[in-house]
Structure formats: structure tokens, C-alpha cells
Amino acid sequence: MNQWISMWGNAISFAERRPESYAKNITLRYPIYVPFSGEALRFTFDNYCGTEKIDITKATVSLSPVNMKEKVGLTCPMYEKQVQEITFFSSTDVTILPNDHVVSDPVFIDVKAGDTICVNLYFANYTSMQSAVLVTGPLSKGYFSIGDMTKVGNLPLEETKATNWFYFLSNIEILSPIGNHTILCYGDSITAQSWPDYLMLRAATNENNHTAIVRRAVSGTRVLRQYDCLTYQSYGLKGTNRFLHEAPTSGCDTIIIQQGINDIIHPVGTEQNPFRPMSDLPTSNELIDGLKWYIEEARALNYKVYMGTLLPIKGWRTFAPFREELRNEINAWIRSTTDIDACIDFDLALRDVSDPSAFKTSYDSGDHLHPSAKAYKKMADIVPSDLIF
């Protein structure tokens, strides 16, 4: 017996506003790693943060010769003879209104664990490229080319560019046997970067992997606040405007939440930045209440809930003793609360033994806020083994 289960996904947030934020006659191609075998795929395209309708002129999918564990290459090849159209209510094009989404018709295509598929979107007319998210990692890269390349095996080298912006494509479901499951990784830039990809690669080492990793993360986001201004719009929505849209995910039984550091480090006072008043700084009780709300909503979805501690920030440009004290109070609650299934102590794993306020040197990316590639792999390594099977 088979079921629809999410095998890949991202959050949908705001792309950074620029004067050239409209695209025309452009194809997006996203190579996607397949964690386990299935017989059909469904695709969700989401305009949740758009202020204008979007028209997808054409969408296709095909298997690719690419091994996602190796270098993909700028031409991002796919098999021309296996290209299938993605349809919507039997139509090859679709209009998605602002704040709305659409799920495609099933595409019957046999895929095996470890395969790569290429998803292509073509926009013939001017399109507001606003609903998107920026993510990075060894399994997270896209490409765009000029013209309709939805059925072309190799993207043209001279007219193609790589991108880490994922536009509109928010979820891929696979029709696969019962027994497979999805882990949801929810958070901010720490999770929008590469530890979920390393967790997927870790799961893939299982000979008969049954675990998919779906990332719902947006850089700059806070639990309790959001910026309602053009300057910081791309920092995304607050928790109550994100979670109920992002968390419901087919096949998901577990969520790992790692968020809260931006609530602590962002406020600097209006004398320094008119959009970042100190009144935005939460108390520990306020931030804990925000995290408790996540837990309650996740429980309503019948998810097991794991929560990651907040990482060191010593050396970050807004670091101050009162922020460190607040971080430690939140971490103390995460480590001790019985509201969750377990704490994943990312902080303990990455901090300097001699100076717990700071990263271990090799685990610091250099900005004293984001982990290094080695540290992201460490984060994936300490996720409990019983979640991955």
C-alpha cells in the first residue's frame, strides 16, 4: 500500500526587493535528491508572500544523470526523452493568486532512492519574483536560463547562472510505500543553511533509507516579531504568520525546531536603526511562550517535537552580556522542559569548552553567529539516530 509523503520542501518567504524583481522569458531548474523510491510525484507551487498573481507558463520534470552527492555543473543535465509535463487540473499552465498555492496533478514517474530529478518552471511573461526563500547546502542549488528550457537536456552554458533562491516551489510529494516518513527542520538562517542537507546525506547512508528531510527555514526570522518595512522585508514573517503555513506536511511525524536567536540579537535601539527598537527585545518568558506555542501547534499535528538549543554569539556585532544571559535562560528551559520529546543540544556540541559563550574555533564560520561547514555536519551528526531509519 502506498501513501503520499513529502520528500523535499522549503519555506516560502519574501525575496529581497530589487529594482529588477520581475522576470520574463526565463526558466528555473532545480535538481532534487530523491530519498526513497516511488511511483509518482506531486508538486506544490506557492505564492504565499506575493502581492501579484503569477503565471507559470509551463512546468516539467525529468530524471537526471546527475549524482547530487557530487558536483552538478552549470548545465544541470536531465534526460530529454524522459521529460514529463507537470499539469494542473489537466492544464499545462496555471495562475496562482497572491497568498495562494496550487498542487499539481500526479506525475507518474518511477524514481529510485538516490535518483536526481530536475524540476523546470518557465515564465513567458513578466512575473513578480517575490515568493521565494534563500537556502544553501550540498543538496540545495538551482539554476536559471534565458528562454524556454523546460524540455532541453542541458542548459546553455553561456545563458545560465546558478542560484540559491528557490522561487515558488515549496513541496514535492512522492507516492511511496507506507513506512517512509518525513522529518521537518524548522528555523531561521541556521537551518536555512546546510545542516538539514547533511542530515539527509546521513540518512542516505542507511542501506534501506525510509527518512526524508524537509526544511522550513527563513534567514532573519524571529519567533515573536517581523519587519513590516521594505528594508528588512526579506527577513521574513514572525512565527504566528509562518508556522501554520509551513508546518503541515504530508508524511511528517517529527519536527526539529531551532529558532530564537534573532529575537535576541536584532534589537539595537532606534538611535542606531529606526526599524530595530529595543522594545522588540523579549523577556525570557515571552520568548519561551512563543516556543511553547510552536509546541502546541506541532502536537495538534501529531508530531514528535525536538528542540535545538541556541548557538553561541560571542563576537557577533551586537553581542552584549544581557543578550548572552537571555540566550542562556532560553537554553536552560529547552534543556529542562518536559513539553518536548527531547532537546538536541547544538550549543553544547559547538561551543568552546574554555569559553561557552563562543564557538569552538573550527566551528565558527567567521561571523561568530553562523556555524562553519564542519559545524553544520556536526549538528546533523548529533540528531538522535532513532529518528533516522
pLDDT in tens, 338-359: 999 999 999 999 999 999 999 9
Contact predicate 102/94, CB 8 Å: yes
Among residues 118, 145, 173, the one where a domain terminates is 173
Total of domains in the chain: 2
Which pLDDT belongs to residue 71?
Answer: 85
Asked whether residue 123 falls in the same domain as residue 194, the answer is no
Asked whether residue 142 falls in the same domain as residue 87, the answer is yes
Mean pLDDT of 195-206: 97
Is residue 243 predicted with pLDDT exceeding 90?
yes
Element (H, E) at 246: helix 239-246
Mean pLDDT of 231-246: 97
Asked whether residue 21 falls in the same domain as residue 35, the answer is yes
**Can you tell me the distance from the alpha carbon of 332 to that of 239, in angstroms, rounded to the nearest whole number?**
21
Among residues 145, 173, 201, the one where a domain terminates is 173
pLDDT in tens, 38-81: 999 999 999 999 999 999 999 999 999 999 988 899 999 999 99
Mean pLDDT of 201-211: 96
Identify the residue with better confidence: 350 or 1.
350
| Percent of all residues in the chain with a pLDDT value above 70, rounded to a whole number | 100
For the domain that residue 378 is a member of, what is the CATH number?
Answer: 3.40.50.1110
Full-model pTM: 0.97
Domain that holds residue 147: 2-173
Is residue 83 predicted with pLDDT exceeding 90?
yes
Q: pLDDT class for 1, splitting at 50, 70, 90?
A: confident
Q: pLDDT class for 20, splitting at 50, 70, 90?
A: confident
pLDDT in tens, 106-129: 999 999 999 999 999 999 999 999
End-to-end CA distance of the chain: 19
Asked whether residue 205 falls in the same domain as residue 305, the answer is yes
Asked whether residue 66 falls in the same domain as residue 87, the answer is yes
Asked whether residue 77 falls in the same domain as residue 156, the answer is yes
Among residues 142, 173, 204, the one where a domain terminates is 173
**Nearest partner of 233 among 219, 249, 243, judged by Cα:** 219
